[in-house]
Structure 1
């Protein structure tokens, strides 16, 4: 039943990018992500998923982000441009095992690249996948195993190594045009150019260059038919999403004026159960961007030059530009909680927001509290422009049986965020005092007054990275009875800097209701590492690795790892690994940083609504005394090949983290107010207005799960070839404490700690026959429990959902190919999630069916 070398051929099919080219006289050694030693085995001791350029093309994905985020191991807590309310709008990251973007290391050609210019969720530093070139990608290797011993911090959950072309012959041009079929008006345009010249073996040099671009229209909630009305009362736990505004004295039924613009008279009870009367409210859908409009361009160039038979020099340049346009929010609503930043105090000042006596909108004889939305100023708009540069040069070669490589690199990510139609605090105070702005009937306001109030600002940010790497390895250090011992060693140095600022308008106290994410820090990191590959007995190899890091801000970290690979039979490979790792505190967490964000809490001591959620301001500070998060990783698996055209890979992972860095939850702070009242600021009515938080090393986390990789190929002389593949990930446990000092609570299969479905799977079938190639991709996301479901949510469960993508390519001529694709073939809607506005954007998107056509020409 089992053919000779069947396991090798099957694993080669399962992991094509790490398969060595075999000839009758020579076995070529290759370097696999996760190791520095060049080996000839076709699968290593740890699981590596490889996505080739051909598979990327067949998937129909149009960006690096779409390709990486679609893998089954990206189980939760990762964000793309749908997260429009963040300080990193328009970006995209990856979160292996649901451990967050800060725990997944992204490399370009095995080397680090600068993180995004500012932080996601105030504390997560990450590589923006939207800044990386799609046309230059030769393959993507995903190591689903902790690799701190090889790469250092932030490889706790695994590594994504994006391999760009180092050589390309000829020229390839492509152009693509697509559009939503669902009437949203969203279109997408893509183009790419890839070219190369020079043959390294014959000409002693080669050069490769690529350029790609993408442009896509903005998608607002009001563009999507089933979301535009904001009425979800037909869903369990759903409601009529209306924002109540324009009222006096804290009572929504005391109307300030009447209907105007988008503000309509609405029954109070239709918005909040148990209420009576009428209120003025508006539908927020036109002011909610689901997917920003984007324009992106990427370029990549690499040159290789042979110096002599044993030495070559290389140089790379990578450029990325991305612009994201979105509606940040509805026009500003002014109320008694109106604030402005006091930079001297490093705190927020409350702005007096009472209608003075004599104001046209105040009929009484005393100053009057009021709430109003300044609709005539227009939507608040945001544009984020991001530029990424990376320059890398190096020299590598062989000497005395050793392979060596030395390189220097510099990369930088810069952000310019501009906003429009925000409000000038000082002009607002003037018009409030002199009565020149009419809140009740804004049509009476002059354009001169509106322009005085409007405020546009610029927020700059920059992150940079300097790297120096040197490594050497020998696949045959010395001989043992079972084979050659391999050894690798090296040293690395890097300097990280982040300078994320706020606008001058915020610092001067000019901007009303500011959000702030100031990060100002740098660190130097030096490291040495070593790796040993030992053939213990025939077909059993043990790999030992260790790394020592020194960080200029917190000190030292040591990361050991041991792994084993056992070829038990031609058809069976057993593998496993155990390691210790760490994640260094990010620069936002440990350096001179401060942040202001807005959230909501339930305060049992609230004098007005002790059971209702109330909006509060969070002021968050860094902590220079933080220690790194520590981790223990364990992996065990096998690869089974019953025939030379099939393989089954099964891997178990277990990750335990301690000293997780975070801030005390709002509920914790409120529950312990008597112990530390300085963390809470209350207004003159006794209601919470501000919570003060600081990063600290807090609780532990445990996660475990299983990855299943299935591959099967059928070949027929008459019917072509059919290739089937499926990657399935199952989360067994994802546990954290709900609050400081409490035992771990398992959140797998719920949205307790961000939505973590227990099951995710991606399956595909590719049929090649003659001039045709067709791929059908099935993506499955499992359902999950509602950990924080509302009282009216009777289902308390978010359904699973399936999407299907279809691509079909026709080779019109030897050098010309036409490809048609349909994304979300069945036009499946994301499932209802009552804890969000409709659906969880980390798991799905609202575009519906999307069709496109692409023409590719090679010469």
Structure 2
């Protein structure tokens, strides 16, 4: 595998001799500051993706664009995470610090987070709810910005900037399909139109609409995954699921025979070291890799020039998203089957025992058993989300001040429906009266099946109300330049109300999953910023922000940054800041979650070396303190010419009081001291682990970003532009358990998959009516820590976008993602591939038609 640094050096070698380039630049506000400057490169590293660069990627969603940047180094999820309480969504995790530490803005203003939490605790903005057609550019600030924006900007900020003015109308349509026989299709279309002119008419209106529909992809649709036979991979087995047997721990005691998807398999092929034969099924047909989705986004923005110095503006965003997936195989009943007891806030055990006289019980004593209810059908799930933001404001200049004031209301509303879950009371009845045949389910009546089937609705809603104001001015002219000053304030109210279904609360649903969050907070903040020209080529920026939260208290976030133009071709920059992350509403307010996982328990009397499925009950902690962070960034930009630049930026983030729950290993190691955290059955096997959020310890993250850009001089063979953004993680350190020393997870999956290298290198070639972009995407390998000795291999793909302009108005593009059909690397901890890093679709080809009126 070619190392990313080789690509970096190859591009750097193409640069010509250093040359000074002078350029007059307008004064603008760049993400990360409230002060207008004319500096092309600031004290903080900001990656800018222009509309032209966005189009060159060939990607159809904001999520696909942002998740491919190199700084998205781990711990972020998209719709491939189908086991999530936030199915169908996509987030961004700069520096691998989680979606909750990356702030997403639209036109420099906040939008509502998703209706419920990802991974039980992560409050995040769903990128799938945001429009792409309306985007003029995206700015990615890669250092901490709590001093300017607030607590959720510890890892960085993404500012999605929409068109303020647009001339004419542009429409596009795109259709694509997997070339690998999966049957997956994707269709998308967009419209962008604009009216008026601020300069000529004093007003402007821009409207955009984009829509996307993509088919569902099942594991059984992918040729190399459909058999669920991974014995050729490290630690791989025949990943079939044993079921339908008497007792709770020996699946060779078969209940009934081959039926539905059940087949007879050797137990040792599924669980090495075992003998005998079992009834088992292939889970591939019941597993969705990528949900089917339908999305529509609209954006409407209007600007009115009140006078030469004042503008009023208003905008509305709306996003509709629908995602459909197979939630899982039909329910398996057996040991550990439970239902929720809302009055006591705990799980009640449900007996799964064949009574004497039951047709499936051949003996004279009650008989425990395990069975999958195949005739009820696969469990299905659909998530419908409505997202909106309405905003109005006024901006302009008065008496030397530039100001901007706005108010906004934003929200995200979820309705999740499921089918073919199981009614606890109907199950207990058919078990007692023998009216359901577990051994031969073809004999069951449709009336009995319908009694057992359960469909439910889970609602959730998140809202955000914000009032913002900021103003800036040149306070004085110093010998080295203008002394800039900015100040402002913000008030916002955050509310989240994530419920569960009435069937769960009444104890009706078997094996319930719960993510209940109910909380509200108010935040008031004031901030100030100075831009001080110390020398002609040396600028110091000082900023500070005080935030007061209604639920935990106050925090102050200072920041200092230096920009030194050491030579016309050399910029040196650095920032030092202190930040914080306020406990999220799921972590600190009225919150209870029931989720499912697995554990290897050395005390297990049956399978001490094999994973066993368990239930996790996680509760909030009103006594949490915020996470406190110290950020340090140091870098330089070399600009040999107006067409070339090399940026190198080092970052170091130390966070204290990281909020999390105790690890499974810690809970089990301290079971004697805290037996209330571990619930075992009569055999001594773990059923439930109780967890609570707490300030656990420290985390240290460091690394380096490389940004290389070069545009070759135009010749008879056209023009070529080269870009590379590469990120190298040096440290991602946390204790494995509270009180233990820090362990470096860079290049491992100790703390989520954190590859040491991530990068995208691209080349764009324009020749006459042709335009071609080739991008190489690289994800480094990492050590699989739960299976020592296994290393997940690096993964690289090549994307191709070839466009042809018929005339100035009409063009067509052929877009091929993963042109060489590279398969994502095997990772036994995911039992397939790491969906946070790879995509199982293989080669995907699309055609796009674009026309301007």
| Same structural fold, with TM-score higher than 0.5 when normalized by the shorter chain | yes
| Matches of 1:833 and 1:4, distance apart in 2 | 48
Per the alignment, residue 604 of structure 1 pairs with: 602
| Matches of 1:618 and 1:471, distance apart in 2 | 45
The question of whether the paired residues in 1 share the 8 Å contact of 2:724 and 2:760 is answered with yes
**TM-score, length-normalised on structure 1?**
0.97
Q: Does 1:129 align with 2:123?
A: no
| Matches of 1:668 and 1:449, distance apart in 2 | 45
Per the alignment, residue 441 of structure 1 pairs with: 440
| Matches of 1:622 and 1:754, distance apart in 2 | 22
Give, in angstroms, the shift of residue 684 of structure 1.
Answer: 1.6
| Matches of 1:684 and 1:233, distance apart in 2 | 35
Per the alignment, residue 703 of structure 2 pairs with: 705
Output aligned runs, 1:477-516, within 5 Å: 477-516=475-514
1:17-68 per-residue CA deviation (whole Å, 9 max, x = no partner) reads: xxxxx3xxxx521000000000011110010000011101111111000000
Q: 2:52 aligns with which of 51, 54, 65?
A: 54
Per the alignment, residue 732 of structure 2 pairs with: 734
Q: Does 1:236 align with 2:230?
A: no
Per the alignment, residue 15 of structure 1 pairs with: none
Q: Does 1:678 align with 2:673?
A: no
| Matches of 1:606 and 1:851, distance apart in 2 | 50
Output aligned runs, 1:367-516, within 5 Å: 367-474=366-473, 476-516=474-514
1:743-796 per-residue CA deviation (whole Å, 9 max, x = no partner) reads: 000010111111101001100000011111100000011111111116xxxx51
Q: 1:42 aligns with which of 27, 40, 60?
A: 40
| Matches of 1:618 and 1:782, distance apart in 2 | 32
Question: Using a 3 Å threshold, how does the CA distance of structure 1 residues 802 and 3 change in structure 2: closer, same or farther?
Answer: closer
Per the alignment, residue 808 of structure 1 pairs with: 802
| Matches of 2:833 and 2:670, distance apart in 1 | 33
Q: 1:531 aligns with which of 519, 529, 532?
A: 529
Per the alignment, residue 820 of structure 2 pairs with: 826
Give, in angstroms, the shift of residue 731 of structure 1.
Answer: 0.4
The question of whether the paired residues in 2 share the 8 Å contact of 1:2 and 1:571 is answered with no
Give, in angstroms, the shift of residue 116 of structure 1.
Answer: 0.2
Which has the higher mean CA deviation after the structures are superposed, 666-675 or 377-386?
666-675
Question: Secondary structure at the residue paired with 2:806?
Answer: strand
| Matches of 2:234 and 2:622, distance apart in 1 | 45
Q: 1:587 aligns with which of 585, 588, 594?
A: 585
Give, in angstroms, the shift of residue 627 of structure 1.
Answer: 0.6
Per the alignment, residue 6 of structure 2 pairs with: none
Question: Secondary structure at the residue paired with 2:732?
Answer: strand
Output aligned runs, 1:70-469, within 5 Å: 70-250=68-248, 251-469=250-468
The question of whether the paired residues in 1 share the 8 Å contact of 2:18 and 2:639 is answered with no
1:310-365 per-residue CA deviation (whole Å, 9 max, x = no partner) reads: 11100000000110000000000000211000000000000111001110000111
Q: 2:776 aligns with which of 778, 785, 793?
A: 778
| Matches of 1:3 and 1:441, distance apart in 2 | 80
| Structure 1: runs of 5+ lacking an equivalent | 10-21
Per the alignment, residue 638 of structure 1 pairs with: 636
Give, in angstroms, the shift of residue 479 of structure 1.
Answer: 1.3
| Matches of 1:432 and 1:544, distance apart in 2 | 70
| Matches of 1:314 and 1:383, distance apart in 2 | 37
1:66-93 per-residue CA deviation (whole Å, 9 max, x = no partner) reads: 0000000000000000000010000000
Which has the higher mean CA deviation after the structures are superposed, 504-513 or 808-817?
808-817
State the Cα RMSD in Å.
1.0
Give, in angstroms, the shift of residue 3 of structure 1.
Answer: 7.0
Per the alignment, residue 63 of structure 1 pairs with: 61
| Matches of 1:462 and 1:369, distance apart in 2 | 41
The question of whether the paired residues in 1 share the 8 Å contact of 2:540 and 2:560 is answered with yes
| Matches of 2:26 and 2:764, distance apart in 1 | 29
The question of whether the paired residues in 2 share the 8 Å contact of 1:410 and 1:465 is answered with yes
Per the alignment, residue 12 of structure 2 pairs with: none
1:99-131 per-residue CA deviation (whole Å, 9 max, x = no partner) reads: 000010000010000000000000000000000
1:270-295 per-residue CA deviation (whole Å, 9 max, x = no partner) reads: 11112111100000000110000000
Q: Number of residues paired by the alignment? A: 837
Give, in angstroms, the shift of residue 481 of structure 1.
Answer: 1.0
| Matches of 2:425 and 2:100, distance apart in 1 | 39
Question: Secondary structure at the residue paired with 1:563?
Answer: strand
Question: Secondary structure at the residue paired with 2:712?
Answer: strand
Question: Secondary structure at the residue paired with 1:254?
Answer: coil
Question: Secondary structure at the residue paired with 1:605?
Answer: coil
Question: Secondary structure at the residue paired with 1:450?
Answer: helix
Question: Secondary structure at the residue paired with 1:118?
Answer: coil
| Matches of 1:386 and 1:99, distance apart in 2 | 26
Question: Using a 3 Å threshold, how does the CA distance of structure 1 residues 773 and 563 change in structure 2: closer, same or farther?
Answer: same
| Matches of 2:658 and 2:390, distance apart in 1 | 34
1:787-822 per-residue CA deviation (whole Å, 9 max, x = no partner) reads: 1116xxxx5111112100000111112210111110
Per the alignment, residue 4 of structure 2 pairs with: none
| Matches of 2:207 and 2:461, distance apart in 1 | 27
| Structure 2: runs of 5+ lacking an equivalent | 1-15
The question of whether the paired residues in 1 share the 8 Å contact of 2:20 and 2:640 is answered with no
Give, in angstroms, the shift of residue 4 of structure 1.
Answer: 6.4
| Matches of 1:766 and 1:48, distance apart in 2 | 21
The question of whether the paired residues in 2 share the 8 Å contact of 1:3 and 1:644 is answered with no
Give, in angstroms, the shift of residue 700 of structure 1.
Answer: 0.5
Per the alignment, residue 7 of structure 2 pairs with: none
Q: Does 1:846 align with 2:840?
A: yes
| Matches of 1:233 and 1:299, distance apart in 2 | 48
| Matches of 1:686 and 1:827, distance apart in 2 | 48
**TM-score, length-normalised on structure 2?**
0.97
